Amino acid sequence: MRVSGVDEDALIAALGADAAPEHVVTELARAKASDVLPVLARDGISDAVVVGCDSMLLIDGSLQGKPGTVDVARARWSAMAGRSATLLTGHSVLRIAEGAVVGDAHDHSATVVHFASPPDADLEAYLATGEPLQVAGAFTLDSLGGWFVDRIEGDPSSVIGIGLPLVRRLLAEVGVGVAELWASSGRVG
């Protein structure tokens, strides 16, 4: 796993205010995947599959990323409590062979999240954990924030971080099967 150094705010600004939300998350994922290529080359990795991901919550026509502060997270929860919003997840898959990109596929998925209305004391306790500060939409599904999600419509894995059905399709587009990916990681075979 490699963390990209993409300046998300700068990229979003460069895409412009009229960029479709789906395009924004997909371009962020593409930029993150591409950003790690020099690191892989420096580390002597010339054959790999790179998966870049990014998620943002679309509510009231506005994309919400990581809140960063308790005050911003609190305001976001005020806007989404008792409502539904769409988590958009962009993925980019790059296939690298002999140091060159030989396959590139990218797309996004959308999952509707129905939020509960947590009591103030519970929300404040959640905010105090720090968990919602560094995740898209100020919530998680697979940890403490899951207590405040009533239900979802769509792929739960995309809410957790990597949309498995979408990545499986993108891997196939670049000629990599899931079992082949497992075998290269030493999990199968």
- Sole residue written with tokens 């990014």: 54
Determine the Cα–Cα distance for residues 159 and 88; give it in Å rounded to an integer. Answer: 9
Q: Say how many residues make up the chain.
A: 189
Q: How far is CA 117 from CA 65, 68, 87, 123, in A?
A: 20, 21, 18, 9
Sequence-ordered strand ranges (E) for 24-99: 48-59, 62-64, 84-97
Whether the CA torsion 45, 163, 134, 34 is positive or negative: it is positive
| Active site residues per annotation | 54
Sequence-ordered strand ranges (E) for 46-181: 48-59, 62-64, 84-97, 100-115, 149-153
Which is nearest to 104 in space by CA: 175, 55, 41?
A: 175
